[in-house]
Structure 1
């Protein structure tokens, strides 16, 4: 079976699908990934990749997609995963993908196309080729609604529904339509996790990650954490710090920095995590069973952070407002830790990607 996976040129959009990509490949199926930018760069050495999308300038796409829609812009700015606002932003990046993706698909001749919701240009190409699609949700927002809002912005043709829909969302956090499939960590190939992060620590440890989507300028979350660190009895490790933090002289003695790492190697040895509420980081902490502070922001990031807080597995705190009190609560609150462990157990009980690969293989002949 030949399977084409399609994702926006963003690591956070491709990586949630990579467990299925690699499982199908290990079972002898032909797979290809169609994406672009950083997402293409980090998997090209391991997989056949079709470059079909330029890197995303998120600010420009947001202005172009939402500039004429002030209400949608306001709703998207709230960060509550509004599907209409998200569709208008990602329509800007989907349109130039359609023809390059079509050419790559014609050459590859897939029997099924798997795509994440924000890459719904794949559904147009699948319809041209007469092959079924699988919609692979990648976060806590409902990809069925995103696809439904996005496609009319790209085509006037009524397209078939996906043959199947997959969801990695733990039901206790978000009710996302689709067949449940267990979240499986995937890290940047070649990421070198320092030895001290792969081992238990004699002190409590907090791992901090930030968004790279908006560049490498000053980061209010990191500034707040560095300011609070002297009042926190724990080691704080910042992954991929921004330039200002990296080159600051005299960081607090308990603040350390590191480059790209495999989060799933480090998080089991951490007491807590602080992140930018991107779905990949949020899922990494949940999978590891540790509480987190997630910082609400536009797009889906307020939705992600509040979903974690409602479940009791962490705190939603604005980036610039993080204090020592928040960090000490993260480290010491037994209810946060217990809820995080419960979600990890829930994730572990979801059907494995191997089960889903078997189901796709069995069903493909009937689609």
Structure 2
């Protein structure tokens, strides 16, 4: 069986699908990844890659997609996973993907096309080639909605529904239609996690991670954490700090910085996590069973943060508003820890990649 995986040129959109791609490859199927940008660079050494999309300038895409839709722009800025606003933003990248993705798919001749919700161009290509699709959710919202809204903007043709939809969302956080699939951590081979983060800590430890889309510019979340750190009885490890934090000559004594880190290796040895509410970081903390503080922001990040807060597995605090009191609550509240562990157990009980992978051959073109 030949399987083509399609994703936006963003690491956070591709990585949730990579465990399934590797499973299918390891079980004798021919697999190709269609993406671009940093996502293509990250996995090029592992699987064949078709470059079908340029890197995303998210700010420019948002301006182009929402510039004429001020109401949708305001809704998207709330960060509550507004599908209509998100569709206008990601349509900007999907449109130029269609032709190169069609060429790549026609050459590869897949029996099945697996795509994440924001790569709806894949559904158009699959329909033209009469190939069944699998919609692979990657976040904490219903991917069928963003797929529908994107296709409404991209084509006037009614397209077949996916043969099946995979959902990695733990049902106690949010119920998404489709076959449940256990979230599986993924990192590129060769990514090195510092030894001290792979060992049990002798005192409380908070891991801090930030968006891969922010670059090295000033990060208000890190500024707030640096201000609060002297009043918190814990070690604070900042992964991929911004330029200002990295070059600081007088960080608080309990702050340490590090480069790229495999979160699933470090988090089991941490007491808590602070993140930007991106779906990948949120899932990493949920999988590890550690409480998290997530900072609401545009896109789906307020939705993610408040979903975690509603479940009782963490806090939702605006980046600039983080205080030492928030960090102490994150470390000390036993209910947060208990609820985070409960979600981790829920994830562990979901069907595995093996369970789903073995059923994929039934969906392929005869």
- Deviation of 1:365 (Å): 5.5
Aligned-pair CA distance for 1:178? 1.1
Q: Which residue of structure 1 lines up, in the alignment, with residue 287 of structure 2? A: 287
Superposition map of 1:207-218 within 5 A: 207-218=207-218
Residue 117 of structure 1, CA deviation: 0.3
User: How much has 1:212 moved relative to structure 2?
Assistant: 2.4
Hey, what does 1:338 align to over in structure 2? Answer: 338
Task: Name the SS for the 2:356 alignment partner.
Answer: helix
2:351 maps to which residue? 351
In structure 2, the partner of 1:2 is 2
SS of the residue aligned with 1:191? coil
Is 1:108 the counterpart of 2:108? The answer is yes
In the alignment, the residues of structure 1 paired with residue 38 and residue 108 of structure 2 have an alpha-carbon distance, to the nearest angstrom, of: 22
Offset at residue 231 of structure 1 (A) = 0.5
Segment drifting more, 249-258 vs 185-194: 185-194
Shift of 1:156: 1.2
Give the TM-score, by structure 2 length.
0.99
Q: CA RMSD in A?
A: 0.8
Residue 82 of structure 1 pairs with residue 69 of structure 2: no
Distance in 1 (alpha carbons) for counterparts of 2:61 and 2:178? 28
Structure 1 counterpart SS, 2:238: strand
Q: Retained in 1: the 8 A contact 2:91–2:153?
A: yes
Match of 2:26 in 1: 26
CA offsets 1:220-269 (integer angstroms, 9 cap, x no match) = 00000011000011100000000000000110110000000100000000
Q: Deviations over 1:49-95 (max 9, x none)?
A: 00000000000000000011111001100000011011000000000
| 1:152-183 per-position Cα deviation (integer Å, ceiling 9, x unaligned) | 21111110000010000000101112110000
How far residue 198 of structure 1 moved from its aligned partner, in angstroms, is: 0.2
Unpaired stretches in structure 2, ≥5 consecutive residues: none
Secondary structure of 2:285's aligned partner: helix
Matched residue count? 366
- Aligned counterpart, 2:174: 174
Contact residue 25 and residue 31 of structure 2 kept, 8 A: yes
Q: Distance in 2 between matches of 1:247 and 1:189?
A: 29
Task: Provide the residue aligned with 2:251 in structure 1.
Answer: 251
Match of 1:45 in 2: 45
**Distance in 2 between residues matched to 1:365 and 1:116, nearest whole Å:** 20
How far the C-alpha of 1:188 sits from its partner, in A, is 3.1
Give how far 1:141 is off: 1.2
Instruction: Tell whether 2:265 aligns with 1:265.
Output: yes
CA distance in 2: counterparts of 1:64 and 1:247, whole angstroms: 34
State the Cα distance separating 1:363 from its structure 2 match. 3.5
- How far apart in 1 are the matches of 2:114 and 2:346? 25
- What is the rounded CA distance, in whole Å, between the counterparts of 1:70 and 1:362 in structure 2? 45
Q: Secondary structure at the match of 1:119?
A: coil
Q: Secondary structure at the match of 2:138?
A: coil
Q: Distance in 2 between matches of 1:73 and 1:291?
A: 31
Asked if 1:202 corresponds to 2:202, the answer is: yes
Q: Distance in 1 between matches of 2:296 and 2:229?
A: 21
The question of whether the paired residues in 2 share the 8 Å contact of 1:58 and 1:214 is answered with no
Matched residues in 2 for 1:349 and 1:330: separation? 26
